[in-house]
Amino acid sequence: MIETWQCDENGKYFNYQGFSRRVTDFKTGEYQLKTIRPGNQINEDGTISPSYILFWIVARGMNRPLITRMYFDENEIKSDVMFKNLSIQDRLKTLIPYTEDKKNFIFDIHLQGKKETIFFEF
């Protein structure tokens, strides 16, 4: 099961129901999410965070949930203070979806292997 959370188009969470729950297709593992593109958020220190959607993933056999984010722009993510000191700069592309039209996105989440998605411990 995949749950998502995001802010509104203005980067705010106040009174915005940006939560969704999706069950993946049992045969293919695919899911669909129809939503708006979230806005940039202002962090507590005044820096601007790139827009993203948070993914919370649980499944039978997993002892704890996996948390990741889907960002929309590779250049923005490289400037995010959260990633400045990490040694995984070459893996940031696992957080960027594929798109041809900037309206529809394909975000593949890989649990292991060479393309393993970055997961966070918040």
- With 0-12 / 13-18 / 19 or more C-beta atoms within 10 angstroms meaning exposed / middle / buried, residue 75 is exposed
- Model confidence at 15, pLDDT cuts 50, 70, 90, reads low
Question: Which one is predicted more confidently, 81 or 64?
Answer: 64
**β-strand partners of 5:** 19, 54
Mean predicted confidence (pLDDT) in 69-89: 81
Average model confidence (pLDDT) for the chain?
87
**CATH architecture, domain defined by 2-106:** Sandwich (2.60)
Q: Model-level pTM?
A: 0.87
Residue in the structure block whose two tokens are 């995949």? 2
What percent of the chain has pLDDT above 90? 43
